[in-house]
Every structure is written in C-alpha cells, then in structure tokens.
Amino acid sequence: MRFSRGVITIAIIVVVLAVGVSVGLYQLLKRTPLAQPPEAFCSVTTPDGVRTLLPEQAQIAATIAAVAARRELPERAVVIAYATAMQESKIQNLEFGDRDSVGVFQQRSSQGWGTKKQLMDPVYATNKFFAALVKVKNYRKIPLAEAAQAVQRSAGGYAYAPHETDAKILAAAFTGRVPKAVHCWYPPGKSPVPQPKTAEARKQLARALGSTAITTKKRGWLVAAWSVAHAEKYALTKVGYNGATWVNDFEAVGWRQGGAAGARKVELA
C-alpha cells in the first residue's frame, strides 16, 4: 500500500510532536519536588521488619523503653509492655475506655492504679505497669499473654499474644539494641522557624530515663531514638550520635553517616 507524501509528512510531524511532549513532561517531572505527605510519621526498621507509627505512638514507645532502662529491666519486659499497649490502646494515651479505664495501658482508678491525671501521664502509667510486671513469677520465661494478663487481668487475656512480633521489632529499636532504627518526619513549621527546645527535651527525657548520661552505645541509641520520636514536640530538626545524623527530611531514607557527634553524647539541634 502506498501513502501520499502529505500523509507521510503528517505522520512524521505527529511522531516529532509526541516525542517533544514526552521529553517536556519528563523534564517537568524531574524538576518537580516529590509531594510530601500531609501528616507526620515515624518508621522503625530492624532486621526483623519495618513498622510505621504515628508520632504519638513513637513518643510513647520511646518513653516505655526509657522507663524500662531506668528500672534496669530486660528487653523482654519492654516487649510485654508494648504488646499490652498495642492491645489496650494501640499505643495511644486515651482519655477514655471501658468504664474508668484510661491511658496507654487502660488502667483503672477504681482498681488502685492511681488517679486519672496520674494514669494519663505515660511515665507514671509505665512505672505502674512495670512495678506489677516484675511481681509476676517467671515473667521473662512464661508466654507473653500470660505475663500481660497477670498484670492487666483483662476479660480477653489471649488477645495480647498476636502483638508479640510487632512488639519485638519496636523493642529492638527503642531500647537501642538496633542502632539507627527509628526515623521520623514531620511537616516544617511556619516561618519563622521555632527554636529547638533542647533543654526541655533533655528535661523530659530525664523524667523517664533518670540520668541522661551515655554509659554504653546501646543507651546512646536509646536516647537518640527517644529524641527523634519527640523531634516534632520539641522542634528538633537534627539529632546526631556516634558518627550518624538524623535530619527532618522527607526524602531521607533514615539516618545518614557523618556528623560531628561522638559516642559520649547525643547532639540535638
């Protein structure tokens, strides 16, 4: 079949225009920054898996790990606490619950756990949970659901067990056993940019952890994880520790190698 010269010319023009449009769109997309999510988020990455948390969940998880470290409790205690908090509140500081249950662990004033105001304080609530947990015989060795149920006395104690895998991933990260495991991003604030509240951050960390001195690298990474989790709350945009740096950058995959921070102190900015 033969085509006229005019048809061939038109076809060539169409192809050239299509290529030109494609190249133009490609260049435009290259220059257009990636859309940022509307909400802040945190992610936990360990060899056993990746989990995404809301900033509030990450802050509470970091607080639980810090309280456990202050009480010199093993990682197993943290795993049990996380699984319990996941089932009771999805690791959130709830102001409501069944009857008079409130807080992260849904503890009840009527059962002697404390006042509602006290139970809404994650540091206080966590201390009360651990104080009860350590009284459970062989809590480190018995099944997680049995240990959690012995503390909570819930109507459905079996429900804690399914959370064990996720709890182990979070515990490995927030206790500092796995370095550089916690990464968060939050939308930059409006201008002018608020000054980082580093002194207040360290003060609140001390409430949960006690001494903020870095005596081991594991403890250093616990402090670093706590700081990243609380970055939005205290207007932190950079956390550095042991030759690595976290920055509040949506396109950052996680911690970056480099920075002046050593192994003796977690730097905040």
User: What is the chain's alpha carbon radius of gyration, rounded to the nearest angstrom?
Assistant: 25
pLDDT at 97 over 80: no
Rounded distance between C-alpha atoms, residue 198 and residue 5, angstroms: 75
Other CB atoms within a 10 A radius of the CB of residue 19 amount to: 10
For 18, the enclosing helix (H) or strand (E) is helix 5-31
Retrieve residue 21's tokens.
């449009």
- pLDDT of 29 > 90? The answer is no
Evaluate whether 147 touches 139 at the Cβ level (below 8 Å): yes
Query: Is 204's pLDDT higher than 50?
Result: yes
State yes or no: pLDDT of 169 exceeds 80.
yes
3-state secondary structure 79-109: HHHHHHHHHHHCCCCECCCCCCEEECCCEEH
pLDDT for the residue 256: 95
- Measured in whole angstroms, the distance separating CA 49 from the mean position of its chain's CA atoms is 14
Closest CA to 259 of 247, 248, 243: 243
Q: What is the pLDDT of residue 153?
A: 87
**Cα(175)–Cα(9) distance, integer angstroms:** 70
User: Which residues have a Cβ under 8 Å from the Cβ of 26 and sit 6 or more positions away?
Assistant: none
- Determine the pLDDT at residue 35: 53
